[in-house]
Amino acid sequence: MAKGLPPPLALVYHGVAGVPLSRDPDRLFVRADDLRRQIARLREWGYRLVSFGDLALEVERSGGAGHASLTFDDGLVDNLEALAPLLREVDAPATVFVTSGWLGQSHPAAPWTRIVTANELRDLSGAGVEIGGHSVTHADLSTLPYEGALDELVRGKQELEAVLGKPVEVAAYPYGRANEETVRAGRDAGFRAACGATARGSWDNPHFLPRQDMDNGCTLLGLRLKRDDRYEPLMRLAPARAVRRVSRQVVTAFR
Protein backbone atom coordinates (compact mmCIF):
# COMPACT_ATOMS: atom_id res chain seq x y z
CA MET A 1 0.00 0.00 0.00
CA ALA A 2 1.24 3.49 -0.84
CA LYS A 3 2.42 5.32 2.25
CA GLY A 4 -0.21 7.55 3.80
CA LEU A 5 -3.03 6.38 1.53
CA PRO A 6 -6.04 4.34 2.71
CA PRO A 7 -6.51 0.81 1.35
CA PRO A 8 -8.51 0.17 -1.82
CA LEU A 9 -12.22 0.00 -1.12
CA ALA A 10 -15.37 -1.02 -2.97
CA LEU A 11 -18.74 -0.47 -1.30
CA VAL A 12 -21.93 -2.25 -2.32
CA TYR A 13 -25.34 -0.62 -2.02
CA HIS A 14 -28.69 -1.33 -3.66
CA GLY A 15 -31.32 1.42 -3.49
CA VAL A 16 -31.25 5.09 -2.52
CA ALA A 17 -34.44 5.97 -0.66
CA GLY A 18 -35.69 6.77 2.83
CA VAL A 19 -37.27 3.40 3.55
CA PRO A 20 -38.16 2.52 7.17
CA LEU A 21 -36.38 -0.57 8.44
CA SER A 22 -39.76 -2.09 9.23
CA ARG A 23 -40.41 -2.08 5.48
CA ASP A 24 -36.87 -3.08 4.51
CA PRO A 25 -36.03 -6.40 6.22
CA ASP A 26 -33.18 -7.05 3.80
CA ARG A 27 -31.75 -3.58 4.54
CA LEU A 28 -31.39 -2.76 0.84
CA PHE A 29 -31.94 0.99 0.96
CA VAL A 30 -29.73 3.85 2.11
CA ARG A 31 -30.99 7.36 2.72
CA ALA A 32 -29.64 10.00 0.36
CA ASP A 33 -28.31 12.10 3.26
CA ASP A 34 -26.51 9.08 4.70
CA LEU A 35 -24.91 8.42 1.32
CA ARG A 36 -23.78 12.06 1.10
CA ARG A 37 -22.18 11.78 4.55
CA GLN A 38 -20.44 8.55 3.60
CA ILE A 39 -19.06 10.08 0.41
CA ALA A 40 -17.82 13.10 2.36
CA ARG A 41 -16.10 10.85 4.90
CA LEU A 42 -14.40 8.82 2.18
CA ARG A 43 -12.98 12.05 0.77
CA GLU A 44 -11.89 13.19 4.23
CA TRP A 45 -9.90 9.96 4.46
CA GLY A 46 -8.13 10.82 1.22
CA TYR A 47 -10.00 8.62 -1.23
CA ARG A 48 -10.39 9.43 -4.89
CA LEU A 49 -13.77 8.07 -6.00
CA VAL A 50 -13.70 6.09 -9.25
CA SER A 51 -15.95 3.64 -11.08
CA PHE A 52 -15.52 -0.04 -10.27
CA GLY A 53 -13.89 -0.57 -13.67
CA ASP A 54 -11.34 2.14 -12.93
CA LEU A 55 -10.77 0.78 -9.43
CA ALA A 56 -9.95 -2.62 -10.93
CA LEU A 57 -7.44 -0.95 -13.26
CA GLU A 58 -5.83 0.95 -10.38
CA VAL A 59 -5.58 -2.25 -8.34
CA GLU A 60 -3.81 -3.93 -11.25
CA ARG A 61 -1.48 -0.96 -11.84
CA SER A 62 -0.52 0.05 -8.34
CA GLY A 63 -2.49 -1.89 -5.74
CA GLY A 64 -5.35 0.61 -5.66
CA ALA A 65 -4.47 2.48 -2.48
CA GLY A 66 -6.34 5.75 -2.18
CA HIS A 67 -9.12 4.70 -4.56
CA ALA A 68 -12.71 3.79 -3.67
CA SER A 69 -15.75 2.78 -5.71
CA LEU A 70 -19.46 3.13 -4.99
CA THR A 71 -21.39 0.23 -6.50
CA PHE A 72 -25.13 -0.52 -6.57
CA ASP A 73 -26.58 -3.96 -7.27
CA ASP A 74 -29.68 -5.05 -9.21
CA GLY A 75 -30.54 -1.81 -11.05
CA LEU A 76 -33.35 -0.28 -9.00
CA VAL A 77 -35.21 2.61 -10.62
CA ASP A 78 -34.15 4.95 -7.81
CA ASN A 79 -30.60 4.59 -9.11
CA LEU A 80 -31.79 6.78 -11.99
CA GLU A 81 -34.26 8.95 -10.11
CA ALA A 82 -32.30 9.63 -6.90
CA LEU A 83 -28.74 8.33 -7.24
CA ALA A 84 -27.80 9.89 -10.58
CA PRO A 85 -28.78 13.45 -9.48
CA LEU A 86 -26.94 12.95 -6.17
CA LEU A 87 -23.81 11.84 -8.00
CA ARG A 88 -23.97 14.97 -10.17
CA GLU A 89 -24.43 17.09 -7.06
CA VAL A 90 -21.34 15.72 -5.30
CA ASP A 91 -19.33 15.11 -8.50
CA ALA A 92 -18.82 11.40 -7.89
CA PRO A 93 -18.85 8.36 -10.21
CA ALA A 94 -20.53 5.04 -9.49
CA THR A 95 -21.22 1.62 -11.00
CA VAL A 96 -24.61 -0.10 -11.17
CA PHE A 97 -24.64 -3.88 -11.67
CA VAL A 98 -27.89 -4.79 -13.44
CA THR A 99 -29.80 -8.08 -13.46
CA SER A 100 -30.77 -8.21 -17.13
CA GLY A 101 -33.76 -10.52 -16.75
CA TRP A 102 -35.36 -8.21 -14.20
CA LEU A 103 -35.60 -5.10 -16.42
CA GLY A 104 -38.90 -3.33 -15.78
CA GLN A 105 -40.00 -5.86 -13.14
CA SER A 106 -40.75 -5.46 -9.44
CA HIS A 107 -37.83 -6.18 -7.15
CA PRO A 108 -38.43 -9.55 -5.43
CA ALA A 109 -37.33 -8.26 -2.01
CA ALA A 110 -39.03 -4.85 -2.40
CA PRO A 111 -42.11 -5.39 -4.58
CA TRP A 112 -43.27 -1.80 -4.05
CA THR A 113 -40.45 -0.65 -6.35
CA ARG A 114 -38.91 -1.97 -9.54
CA ILE A 115 -35.86 -2.37 -11.73
CA VAL A 116 -35.14 0.13 -14.51
CA THR A 117 -36.61 -0.45 -17.95
CA ALA A 118 -34.39 -0.68 -21.03
CA ASN A 119 -34.95 3.02 -21.81
CA GLU A 120 -34.18 3.98 -18.21
CA LEU A 121 -31.04 1.87 -18.29
CA ARG A 122 -29.87 3.84 -21.32
CA ASP A 123 -30.64 7.06 -19.45
CA LEU A 124 -28.66 5.85 -16.44
CA SER A 125 -25.68 5.05 -18.64
CA GLY A 126 -26.10 8.40 -20.38
CA ALA A 127 -25.88 10.10 -16.98
CA GLY A 128 -22.32 8.79 -16.71
CA VAL A 129 -22.96 5.79 -14.49
CA GLU A 130 -20.92 2.70 -15.38
CA ILE A 131 -23.16 -0.32 -16.05
CA GLY A 132 -22.02 -3.81 -15.09
CA GLY A 133 -23.46 -7.31 -15.35
CA HIS A 134 -25.27 -9.08 -12.52
CA SER A 135 -26.44 -12.25 -14.32
CA VAL A 136 -29.81 -12.86 -16.00
CA THR A 137 -31.90 -14.25 -13.13
CA HIS A 138 -29.89 -13.30 -10.01
CA ALA A 139 -29.21 -16.97 -9.28
CA ASP A 140 -26.59 -17.87 -6.69
CA LEU A 141 -23.87 -18.75 -9.19
CA SER A 142 -21.81 -20.53 -6.55
CA THR A 143 -24.47 -23.27 -6.51
CA LEU A 144 -24.34 -23.79 -10.28
CA PRO A 145 -21.89 -25.86 -12.31
CA TYR A 146 -19.43 -23.94 -14.46
CA GLU A 147 -21.62 -24.18 -17.56
CA GLY A 148 -24.66 -22.78 -15.73
CA ALA A 149 -22.71 -19.88 -14.23
CA LEU A 150 -21.12 -19.13 -17.60
CA ASP A 151 -24.52 -19.08 -19.32
CA GLU A 152 -25.96 -16.67 -16.72
CA LEU A 153 -23.00 -14.31 -17.06
CA VAL A 154 -22.65 -14.45 -20.84
CA ARG A 155 -26.36 -13.97 -21.54
CA GLY A 156 -26.62 -11.19 -18.96
CA LYS A 157 -23.67 -9.42 -20.55
CA GLN A 158 -25.07 -9.80 -24.06
CA GLU A 159 -28.55 -8.60 -23.07
CA LEU A 160 -27.20 -5.46 -21.41
CA GLU A 161 -24.89 -4.76 -24.33
CA ALA A 162 -27.83 -5.07 -26.74
CA VAL A 163 -29.72 -2.43 -24.74
CA LEU A 164 -26.76 -0.08 -24.30
CA GLY A 165 -25.05 -0.55 -27.65
CA LYS A 166 -21.64 -0.71 -26.00
CA PRO A 167 -19.48 -3.22 -24.08
CA VAL A 168 -20.26 -4.22 -20.51
CA GLU A 169 -16.86 -4.97 -19.02
CA VAL A 170 -17.40 -5.61 -15.29
CA ALA A 171 -19.65 -7.83 -13.21
CA ALA A 172 -20.84 -8.54 -9.69
CA TYR A 173 -21.80 -12.05 -8.62
CA PRO A 174 -25.35 -12.23 -7.19
CA TYR A 175 -25.37 -12.38 -3.39
CA GLY A 176 -21.63 -11.71 -3.61
CA ARG A 177 -20.94 -15.45 -3.68
CA ALA A 178 -18.50 -17.26 -5.93
CA ASN A 179 -16.37 -20.37 -5.95
CA GLU A 180 -13.51 -21.32 -8.25
CA GLU A 181 -15.86 -22.35 -11.05
CA THR A 182 -17.87 -19.13 -10.72
CA VAL A 183 -14.72 -17.03 -10.95
CA ARG A 184 -13.54 -18.99 -13.97
CA ALA A 185 -16.93 -18.39 -15.58
CA GLY A 186 -16.64 -14.66 -14.86
CA ARG A 187 -13.30 -14.55 -16.63
CA ASP A 188 -14.42 -16.73 -19.54
CA ALA A 189 -17.59 -14.66 -20.01
CA GLY A 190 -15.36 -11.81 -21.12
CA PHE A 191 -15.46 -9.53 -18.09
CA ARG A 192 -12.16 -7.87 -17.30
CA ALA A 193 -13.06 -7.61 -13.60
CA ALA A 194 -15.73 -8.95 -11.25
CA CYS A 195 -16.52 -8.76 -7.57
CA GLY A 196 -18.13 -10.39 -4.58
CA ALA A 197 -19.71 -8.83 -1.48
CA THR A 198 -19.58 -9.12 2.33
CA ALA A 199 -15.77 -8.84 2.07
CA ARG A 200 -15.54 -12.06 0.03
CA GLY A 201 -12.72 -12.12 -2.52
CA SER A 202 -9.18 -10.83 -2.75
CA TRP A 203 -7.46 -7.74 -4.14
CA ASP A 204 -5.07 -10.18 -5.83
CA ASN A 205 -7.84 -11.68 -7.98
CA PRO A 206 -9.32 -9.29 -10.60
CA HIS A 207 -12.29 -11.63 -11.14
CA PHE A 208 -13.18 -11.81 -7.45
CA LEU A 209 -12.43 -8.43 -5.94
CA PRO A 210 -13.95 -7.81 -2.50
CA ARG A 211 -16.70 -5.32 -1.67
CA GLN A 212 -18.06 -4.22 1.68
CA ASP A 213 -21.83 -4.18 2.27
CA MET A 214 -23.47 -0.83 3.04
CA ASP A 215 -26.98 -1.41 4.32
CA ASN A 216 -29.89 0.57 5.70
CA GLY A 217 -28.69 2.25 8.90
CA CYS A 218 -24.97 1.67 8.40
CA THR A 219 -23.00 4.13 10.56
CA LEU A 220 -19.79 6.01 9.89
CA LEU A 221 -18.14 3.76 12.50
CA GLY A 222 -19.29 0.77 10.48
CA LEU A 223 -17.85 2.38 7.36
CA ARG A 224 -14.51 2.85 9.12
CA LEU A 225 -14.43 -0.80 10.19
CA LYS A 226 -15.27 -1.88 6.64
CA ARG A 227 -12.61 0.41 5.21
CA ASP A 228 -10.03 -1.46 7.28
CA ASP A 229 -11.60 -4.89 6.56
CA ARG A 230 -12.31 -5.36 10.25
CA TYR A 231 -16.11 -5.45 10.21
CA GLU A 232 -16.69 -9.03 9.04
CA PRO A 233 -14.00 -10.55 11.31
CA LEU A 234 -15.48 -8.60 14.23
CA MET A 235 -18.98 -9.88 13.46
CA ARG A 236 -17.74 -13.43 13.89
CA LEU A 237 -17.52 -12.70 17.61
CA ALA A 238 -20.69 -13.26 19.65
CA PRO A 239 -20.40 -10.06 21.76
CA ALA A 240 -20.06 -7.91 18.63
CA ARG A 241 -23.07 -9.58 17.02
CA ALA A 242 -25.08 -8.96 20.20
CA VAL A 243 -24.17 -5.26 20.17
CA ARG A 244 -25.13 -5.02 16.49
CA ARG A 245 -28.45 -6.75 17.15
CA VAL A 246 -29.35 -4.35 19.97
CA SER A 247 -28.22 -1.36 17.91
CA ARG A 248 -30.41 -2.43 15.00
CA GLN A 249 -33.40 -2.91 17.31
CA VAL A 250 -32.96 0.62 18.65
CA VAL A 251 -32.61 2.10 15.17
CA THR A 252 -35.64 0.17 13.94
CA ALA A 253 -37.73 1.48 16.83
CA PHE A 254 -37.04 5.06 15.76
CA ARG A 255 -37.48 4.61 11.98
Percent of the chain with pLDDT over 70: 89
Global confidence as pTM: 0.92
pLDDT score at 234? 65
pLDDT tens across 88-131, in order? 999 999 999 999 999 999 999 999 999 999 999 999 999 999 99
Please state, in angstroms and rounded to a whole number, the distance separating the CA atoms of residues 73 and 14. 5
Integer angstrom CA distances of residue 194 from 54, 84, 153, 154, 200: 12, 22, 11, 13, 12
Using pLDDT thresholds of 50, 70 and 90, give the confidence band for residue 25.
very high
- CB count within 10 Å of CB 134 equals 26
Domain 9-220: which CATH number of 3.40.50.300, 3.20.20.370, 3.40.50.10490, 3.30.420.140: 3.20.20.370
Contact at 8 Å (CB) between 41 and 223?
Answer: yes
Distance CA 124, CA 103 (A): 13
pLDDT at position 236: 54
R_g (Cα) of the chain, nearest Å = 17
Q: Quick one: average pLDDT of 221-227?
A: 95
pLDDT per residue as tens digits for the range 37-92: 999 999 999 999 999 999 999 999 999 999 999 999 999 999 999 999 999 999 99
What is the predicted pLDDT for the residue at 254? 46
